[in-house]
Structure 1
Amino acid sequence: MTIDEIIDFVEGLDGTLVVRPEAGDGSPEISWGDAFFSYAPDGVVPQATQPFATIVTKNYPGDETSRLDRPGAFRVNAAVGRETFTDRTGHAPGEPAGYDPGATDVVIAHPVYGSAAWLAVVNPGPRTDAAVRQLLRHACDLARARYERRRRAG
């Protein structure tokens, strides 16, 4: 999967908003080239919530273990909830796991946000294409449910 294929897929999910920071838009330079996916049926970036998924194209401070400084490397990340996280990894969020955070085309616990039930895939390919799509759809569904709960409570 390419970054553009992932973005096209997420844009096809109902109510999603894709933000792609770039030079001159006021976003921090470190975020340029990345993508942030939110559930925002009104088309406005939500201020009170985090994105439900992201694509990062470089190492961030404190998040170097995926080795995104390799040519062409990127990582797709999704907030999938505790149950899906445990089903996919075989352990609860925050529990130690013996995996290589830089391995490609493998679903892993996010190297920094795994304890918050985020999963990640570095350079998704044939082995993880279907899983990435399923995880992104699920993360969007969870974000939609949170949005609806807040709106009803509102």
Structure 2
Amino acid sequence: MDHTQLLDSLRHLYPDAEFLERAGTVFVMYDPDHRLTPEWRRPFVTVVPDDAHDHASNLGREGVYRLNVELSADAYRERFGPHPRAGADGLVHTGHDFTALDVVMPHPVYAPMSWACVLCPSAATVEALRPLLVEAYTRAVRRHAQEGRPGGAAGTLPG
């Protein structure tokens, strides 16, 4: 599945989500009424085409991109075990080969915040991830309903 096919699949899965592109990275967010200011918006899925955010995945290879998805803390632990801590280099050291294609693994930077990733996922891998993608969307919808209310959660758009 190439980058364009993945985005088409995600647009089909999330018809009322916003797909914001910044410098090639696509941030998928839920704000259907456009009431949130940028500092309150938070993606639940991102698609990254280059090494602008980290160099662990070697995304400079021809046609290589990374799908990132926010998991619940419980889903992260079920899949990968305890949350890792970032090393002095800002990366987590989980024993995963962050350059491997079509392998679901912890995100090399955002794993402590329950993010997972996969480089160049196949259609079968995207389908296997569907429950986690739907769960990420459901949490985003719930978060949106709470934002702006006293005690509501705020998020930021990661750079």
- Normalising by structure 2, we get a TM-score of 0.78
Q: Which amino acid aligns with 2:28?
A: F
Q: How does 1:14-25 map to 2 (within 5 A)?
A: 14-21=15-22
Matched, 1:92 2:98: no
Q: Tell me which residue corresponds to 2:58.
A: 67
Deviations 1:92-118 (A, max 9, x none): 222652210111101100000000000
Moved over 3 A (4+): 43-46, 151-154
Q: Tell me which residue corresponds to 1:111.
A: 108
Q: Is the 8 A contact 1:40 1:46 kept in 2?
A: no
Q: Which amino acid aligns with 1:7?
A: L
The alignment partner of 2:147 has SS state of: helix
Aligned partner (choices 53, 67, 83) of residue 74 of structure 2: 83
Matched, 1:50 2:51: no
Cα separation, 2, equivalents of 1:46 and 1:138: 24
Q: Tell me which residue corresponds to 1:24.
A: none
Matched, 1:2 2:2: yes
- Superposed displacement of residue 84, structure 1: 1.2
Q: Given the superposition, is the C-alpha separation of residues 40 and 130 from structure 1 closer, same or farther in structure 2, using an over 3 Å criterion?
A: same
- Normalising by structure 1, we get a TM-score of 0.80
- Superposed displacement of residue 141, structure 1: 1.1
Pairwise CA RMSD of aligned residues?
Answer: 2.2
- Superposed displacement of residue 147, structure 1: 0.8
Q: Percent identity?
A: 30
Cα separation, 2, equivalents of 1:44 and 1:6: 28
Query: Relative contact order (alpha carbons < 8 A, sep ≥ 6): 1 or 2 greater?
Result: 2
Runs (5+) with no aligned partner, structure 2: 86-92, 153-159
Q: Given the superposition, is the C-alpha separation of residues 43 and 145 from structure 1 closer, same or farther in structure 2, using an over 3 Å criterion?
A: same
Runs (5+) with no aligned partner, structure 1: 22-30
Q: What count of residue pairs does the alignment treat as equivalent?
A: 142
Q: Which amino acid aligns with 2:110?
A: Y
Q: Is the 8 A contact 2:2 2:63 kept in 1?
A: no
Cα separation, 2, equivalents of 1:134 and 1:81: 12
- Superposed displacement of residue 150, structure 1: 2.1
